[in-house]
Structure 1
């Protein structure tokens, strides 16, 4: 098992309920894939460094987790197909 962290940015137009639903969705993907979540940190709405898809701000979420090397690929696939996610990154902080 390796340690990973992911930061994803959600659409700023989402209400609190939709934000929580998205967080639970991605937490579920990690847990169902055999990973263990260490920390979930909702940073809230922040201004983006540059405009993405004509949007100037987004809701930032950080998740630290441990998982096998196959899980980040599945998580990345789900981030890419989710309409509510503007940007995402998954890194192994040990490297």
Structure 2
């Protein structure tokens, strides 16, 4: 199992219920073949630069351990979610 860090930014106007559904969906993908260490919701922040005429986003950081297939599936799901502005998955070297 490898250690990974996921940061994703949602549109700031996404409702709390939808935000929770998305987190649960991503959590389910990770927990199918791994384990979540920490979920840290940073909340609404100003973006460093405008993305598709959007200046603010809701940031979430997830630290997890998983096999090599999990980040690929997670990346695929994050790309097709309309609410996600940007995301990044990083493998943490030890």
Same fold (TM over 0.5): yes
Aligned pairs (5 A) from 1:49-64: 49-64=48-63
TM-score (norm 2): 0.96
Residue by residue over 1:56-76, the C-alpha shift from the partner in whole angstroms, topping out at 9 and shown as x without a partner, is: 000000000000111101100
CA distance in 1, matches of 2:42, 2:26: 16
CA distance in 1, matches of 2:11, 2:91: 25
RMSD between aligned residues: 1.0
TM superposition shift of 1:15: 1.4
Moved over 6 A (4+): none
Partner of residue 77, structure 1:
76
Partner of residue 93, structure 2:
94
The answer to whether the Cα contact below 8 Å between 2:2 and 2:92 also exists between their aligned partners in 1 is: no
Aligned pairs (5 A) from 1:32-43: 32=32, 34-43=33-42
TM-score (norm 1): 0.95
CA distance in 1, matches of 2:10, 2:25: 13
